[in-house]
Structure 1
């Protein structure tokens, strides 16, 4: 007997979807397990997750957006991030990083390089900050201001 949609009505003989999902998960865990390294990376990435943070999007990267100068060596990398009314300008060199939060405001800044944040940096009255350690590998900046938390996009140094 068919219902109005032409489908057979559910009877107890059909496979329970919850049981099917459990069996598929078990089969995937046995036949194609998640590598331990990938699981660790996922846990570390989640540790950096900040639910209340606004994301500051990269709007300028001198590696991509600037015209190279012929003969220039060791040119600093310039980055600009925007999150609403907040702008973060950053200059990366082999000697470290420096930047400025605009409009100028006090902020505590952390250079994120993995599950642990780097040494905290503070802005001066003009919103400027510096670090003698250049970021290595993937990094992001987390700014804690009086208005909330802002996290930049992740980049590779």
Structure 2
């Protein structure tokens, strides 16, 4: 048997399978030989956050990693984040088990946890504005809040 016959026997009949394998090999080679610069990746993530052109950007006003006073003996404390867009405030606690948060003033909302190219994970906020997500964000993430006709997107952060 020659090489062509071996390839035909090993792979399914459709060319899509071979194309998928070739594409994966090319992606791996590009990641090793020509990785995407960190600055370009951050710019792309920032641009993705603004794909809702009517969305308001919620500014990070508090991050416990930067703003909180260190506590002696405290380890593995949850990360506390506060975002503000006009009159709307979103408080978020990032724990090992996921996210816990509240929208103020209290209102029902749909919150999507954005994680780069992955599909957003929607979470519902109740009438008091409380929400939880049992999936901890990995890598860069942002939140998109939809309350009525208003859309608010937070800054991108690393989990």
- TM-score relative to the length of structure 2: 0.70
The aligned runs of 1:1-157 (5 Å cut-off) are 37=36, 46-48=47-49, 49-157=51-159
1:44-97 deviations in whole A, cap 9, x for unaligned?
Answer: 765551100000000000010000111112101000000000000000011111
CA distance in 1, matches of 2:125, 2:88: 14
Residue matched to 2:27? none
Cα displacement (A) at 1:118: 2.7
The secondary structure found in structure 2 opposite 1:87 is strand
5+ unaligned residues in a row in structure 2: which ranges? 1-33
Q: 1:117 Cα deviation (Å)?
A: 3.5
Number of residue pairs matched?
122
TM-score normalised according to structure 1 size: 0.70
| Secondary structure of the corresponding residue to residue 52 of structure 1 | coil
SS at match of 2:127: coil
Kept in 2, the 8 Å contact 1:108–1:144? The answer is yes
After superposing on structure 2, the runs of 4+ consecutive aligned residues of structure 1 that deviate more than 4 Å are 35-38, 40-48
Describe the SS at the equivalent of 2:74.
coil
Q: Note closer, same or farther for the CA distance 1:148–1:54 as it changes in structure 2 (3 Å cut).
A: same
Between Structure 1 and Structure 2, the one with more helix by share is 2
Q: Residue 91 of structure 1 aligns to a residue in which SS?
A: strand
**Structure 1 residue 125 displacement after superposition:** 1.4
- Any unmatched runs of 5+ in structure 1? 1-34
Within 2, Cα distance between the matches of 1:100 and 1:141? 12
User: C-alpha separation between the residues in 2 aligned to 1:45 and 1:66?
Assistant: 26
Root mean square deviation, CA, Å: 2.1
Give the CA deviation at 1:36: 8.4
> Which structure has the bigger radius of gyration?
1
